[in-house]
Amino acid sequence: MFAKAEVGVTYPMSDRPSYSAPALTKGLDILELLSKHDGGLTLKEMAGRLERTVNEIFRMVSVLEDNGFIRMGPDNQYVLTLRLFEIAHRHPPVKSLIENASPHMHQFSNATHQSCHLSVYQGGKAVIIAQVESPERWSFNMKIGAMLELVESASGLTLLTFQAEDRRQQMLEEYEKAFGTLPTSVSKLQRDMSSIQRQGYCVMESQHVAGVTNISFPILGIEGNAIAALTVPYLKHISDQSIPLQDIPENIRVATQGISRMNGYSSEIWSL
């Protein structure tokens, strides 16, 4: 593999010159740090965690704020805005995936009176890129841009399970690099993934909200690996229109098959 480092000059990847852009690195470090702290951080807290002085990061923080990437919240704490999320959504593959999934997600929610959300893998976690609310007055919704645990959420486990072995290993390595050791044993994780693979989807009780059962199906790309996960945080409604839990997987299967076909996948792998 080769990469262009300078116009007219081609280097092997291993010999590519290393360039330094300290200001850019500083800005990226700040954005990455804030992405891990939903409640925000003060200027002093950011400096401490980045092992820099306040003076070193002050100008960069001001530039990021002026350009709408971060904002100051309560108690002088800086938080990320949705600017990065908006930029990511202009990326053709993400935009196309959401456009393909949207009609199927709305059809599912209207038929079942349940909410659903779409997530993709990114840097050791699952990130929600789209969601459709239930038409009911009461529903459970996830925020767009919310990050979910890779091995402790239905969405994350689904994204992890339906991958080629080498890609799955890479995802676990990225998880450990970002968050430390796995919260479960490798043997248990393997058993869980084997069960999900046999069933064709993941069902698990919410780790954060009592009474919510998460059901997640893979959306497959051309090569048959999960490019996204469609997840339903199932709530039992006390009404005549409520669809029982055992009937939800069939409805999700229909939706994910339709989305997968629109993203290039042609085989039928689900059997309930």
CATH architecture under which domain 2-81 falls: Orthogonal Bundle (1.10)
Q: How many CB atoms neighbour CB 170 within 10 A? A: 12
Token look-up 């593999």 returns 1
Domain range summary for the chain, segments of one domain joined by +: 2-81, 87-262
**Cα separation, 87 vs 239, whole angstroms:** 41
Average pLDDT over residues 155-175: 94
**Residue 177 binned pLDDT confidence (cut-offs 50, 70, 90):** confident
Per-residue pLDDT for 159 more than 50?
A: yes
Question: Cβ distance 133 to 192 under 8 Å?
Answer: no
Q: What is the mean pLDDT of residues 148-164?
A: 94
| Topology of the domain comprising 87-262 | Beta-Lactamase (3.30.450)
Mean pLDDT for all residues in the chain: 85
3-class SS of residue 188: helix
Could you give the angle at which helices 22-35 and 54-66 cross, rounded to 10 degrees? Answer: 80
Q: What type of residue sits at position 180?
A: G
Residue 271: partners with Cβ closer than 8 Å, 6 or more residues away: 200
With 60 as the cut, is the pLDDT of residue 211 above it?
yes
What pLDDT, in 10s, does the model give residues 219-228? Answer: 999 889 999 9
Are 143 and 208 in contact by the 8 Å Cβ rule? The answer is no
Contact 150, 156 (CB under 8 A): yes
pLDDT tens readout for residues 14-33:
455 667 888 899 999 999 99
Query: Is residue 272 predicted with pLDDT exceeding 60?
Result: no
Answer yes or no: are the C-beta atoms of 270 and 257 closer than 8 Å. yes
- Matching fold, domains 2-81 and 87-262: no
Of all residues in the chain, the percent with pLDDT exceeding 90 is 56
